[in-house]
DNA sequence: TATTGTTATACTCTATAACTATA
DNA sequence: TATAGTTATAGAGTATAACAATA
């Protein structure tokens, strides 16, 4: 049993702002799941668009590139392509492409020192580590600014509920 | 003041499944906002990947195309390109491209009957309406299946919290 | 002058599938 | 046979900016 009672009601207008976006197409007559999905999707799209835009204008890079580097920061010894693929939720070929670009820019390197000679370990170079650190600091600031309007208690409840949702969804995937 | 007390704790394992995904890179030492964002993003990516894949395999179409048609279903008189752009949260040029494809397939049509001769109204054709209805039914089933593991009370709370988040985020966008 | 929509350009990401070299 | 990674292919979305027609 999980207790969400630490969450206290937030103070906000009774009527949500009517902002035209992906959720607008709902009329209220749709199943609750559809409305929930479209609302969550518009939240994500809103933030993602903003982050993509700032990564481009301030760091001349993209979200997948930043994500790949972020995954590597917690693996000093490096990660295999297949591990990156699973972590980033994209296919193997895509990871090869993104890695190629980052390698060309000297931000990551392929290490051929595994016991298994089919695979290689990808890891950040020094330059990559420095570059990522700068981006990460900015990224944290952006996210905190964008999500900062939500009260801490609400944020905690949301975090827990999304954890439940994620677990439930995973278990309902056809593959799973 | 909003009351979320209708939400009752869900029953689930105390320890969340350790699934490797976008959220995995968090260590617990990141700011709460970052962890929340990555968790929400992995929820969305999970569902989006699944929906994209099924739209492709079962209906030979894409998510943006389905989204554009969905927007039109609630506007019998049609929508302007600029309205679609805002609703779909993408740029004007993109909407032109997606509309071109749908028009070529006879699913939407451009109507030049506005007072403003610069703009046109896009609306679903009969064929488009029928086609969309089939997709929408399937889409509802998919989403209900994917989100169905979450208890109704949890789902309601999540819906409300995401509403708060969306509103807060909108008001914190640089443009806003 | 500003706005609506289109076009042109160039790039990034994407899935799929065939391929290689290992295991 | 199975797996790790690459390559080839094709396509789909994206931003940006220049453009024409109209307001």
The answer to whether A142 contacts chain B (CB < 8 Å) is no
- Is the model's pLDDT at B16 over the cut of 70? no
Q: Which nucleotides of D are covered by protein (CB under 7 A)?
A: 3-9, 12-17, 21-23
Reported as a single tens digit per residue, the pLDDT across A71-127 is 999 888 899 999 999 888 888 999 999 999 999 999 999 998 778 889 999 999 999
* Reduced DSSP (H G I as helix, E B as strand, rest coil) percent helix, strand, coil of chain B, to 5: 60, 5, 35
Q: Cα(B123)–Cα(A4) distance, rounded to whole angstroms?
A: 45
> How far apart, in whole angstroms, are the C-alpha atoms of residue A81 and residue A94?
10
Cβ pair A166:B43 closer than 8 A: yes
The span from the CA of B22 to the CA of A131, in Å, is: 20
- Straight-line distance from CA B100 to C1' C11, in Å? 21
Q: How far apart are CA A143 and CA A141, in angstroms?
A: 6
Determine the distance in angstroms separating the CA of A106 from the nearest CA of chain B, rounded to an integer: 22
Task: Give residue B57's pLDDT band: very low, low, confident or very high (50, 70, 90).
Answer: confident
Which pLDDT does position A20 carry in this prediction?
Answer: 76
Would you say residue B126 has pLDDT above 60?
Answer: yes
Contacts with B, A 77-96, CB within 8 Å: 83, 86-89
Query: pLDDT at position A27, please?
Result: 79
Q: Tens digits of per-residue pLDDT, B22-33?
A: 887 888 777 889
pLDDT > 90 in chain B, percent: 36
Task: Tell me the torsion sign for CA atoms B87, B91, B93, B97.
Answer: negative
Nearest to B131 by CA among B83, B60, B51, B75: B60
Contact list in B for residue A5 (CB cut-off 8 A) is 9
CA of B25 to C1' of D18 (A): 42
At residue A21, the pLDDT reads: 80
Percent of chain B with pLDDT over 70: 88
* pLDDT given at position B175: 62
Residue A137: which pLDDT band, with cuts at 50, 70 and 90? very high
Residues 6+ apart with CB under 8 A from B140: A30, A31, A33, A34
**Closest chain A residue to B154 measured between Cα atoms?**
A161
Which residues have C-beta within 8 Å of that of residue B175, sequence separation ≥ 6?
none
Kindly report, residue by residue over B78-118, the tens digit of the pLDDT: 999 989 988 888 888 889 999 999 998 899 999 887 678 88
Residue B94 CB closer than 7 angstroms to strand D? yes
Asked if the model's pLDDT at residue A14 lies above 60, the reply is no
- Which residue's structure tokens are 């197409």? A25
Chain centroid to CA B64: how far?
Answer: 9
The rounded distance, in Å, linking the Cα atoms of A171 and A141 is 34
Residue B10 pLDDT class (50, 70, 90 cuts): very low
What pTM was computed for the model? 0.87
> pLDDT value at position B141?
93
Measuring CA to CA, how many Å separate B97 from each of A4, A97, A102, B72?
46, 25, 30, 16
Residue B150 has pLDDT above 90, yes or no: yes
Mean pLDDT of chain B: 83
A18 falls in which pLDDT band (50, 70, 90)?
A: low
Which whole-number Å values give the CA distances from A119 to A73, A142, B122, in the listed order?
20, 36, 51
A14, exposed or middle or buried, with CB in 10 Å at 0-12, 13-18, 19+?
exposed
Per residue in A148-174, pLDDT (tens digit) is 999 999 999 999 999 999 888 888 877
Query: Mean pLDDT over residues B133-146, rounded?
Result: 93
Instruction: Return the structure tokens found at A46.
Output: 């809103």
Residue A119 at interface with chain B, using a CB cutoff of 8 Å:
no
A10 interface with B at CB cutoff 8 Å: yes
Contact B147 A10 (CB under 8 A): no
pLDDT for B158: 95
Question: Any atom of strand D under 7 A from CB of A45?
Answer: no
> What are the residue ranges of helices labelled H in chain A?
32-59, 63-73, 81-88, 92-104, 126-147, 152-172
The DSSP symbol for B77 reads T
Query: How close B33 comes to chain A (CA, Å)?
Result: 6
A84: Cβ–Cβ under 8 A, 6 or more apart, which residues?
A: A68, A71, A95, A99, A122
Strand order of the sheet with strand A108-111?
Answer: A79-80, A121-124, A108-111
- Chain A nearest CA to B50, separation (Å): 8
From the CA of A114, how many Å to the C1' of C21? 15
Cβ count within 10 A of residue B141: 12
Residues in B 12-31 with any Cβ partner in A closer than 8 A: 12, 14, 16-17, 19-25, 27, 30-31
CA distance A22 to A16: 15
């Amino acid at each position: 049993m999980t207790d969400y009672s630490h969450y206290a009601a937030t103070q906000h207008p009774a009527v949500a702002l009517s902002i035209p976006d992906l959720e607008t197409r709902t009329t209220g007559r749709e199943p609750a799941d559809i409305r929930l999905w479209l609302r969550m999707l518009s939240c994500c799209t809103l933030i993602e668009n903003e982050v993509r835009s700032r990564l481009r204008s301030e760091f001349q890079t993209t979200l997948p590139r930043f994500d790949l580097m972020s995954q590597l920061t917690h693996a000093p010894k490096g990660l295999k392509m297949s591990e990156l693929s699973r972590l980033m939720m994209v296919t193997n070929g895509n990871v090869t492409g993104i890695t190629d670009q980052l390698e060309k820019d000297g931000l990551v390197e392929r290490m051929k020192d595994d016991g298994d000679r089919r695979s290689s370990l990808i890891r950040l170079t020094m330059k990559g580590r420095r570059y990522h650190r700068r981006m990460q600091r900015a990224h944290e600031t952006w996210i905190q600014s964008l999500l900062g309007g939500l009260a801490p208690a609400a944020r905690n409840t949301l975090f827990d509920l999304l954890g439940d949702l994620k677990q439930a969804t995973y278990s309902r995937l056809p593959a799973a």
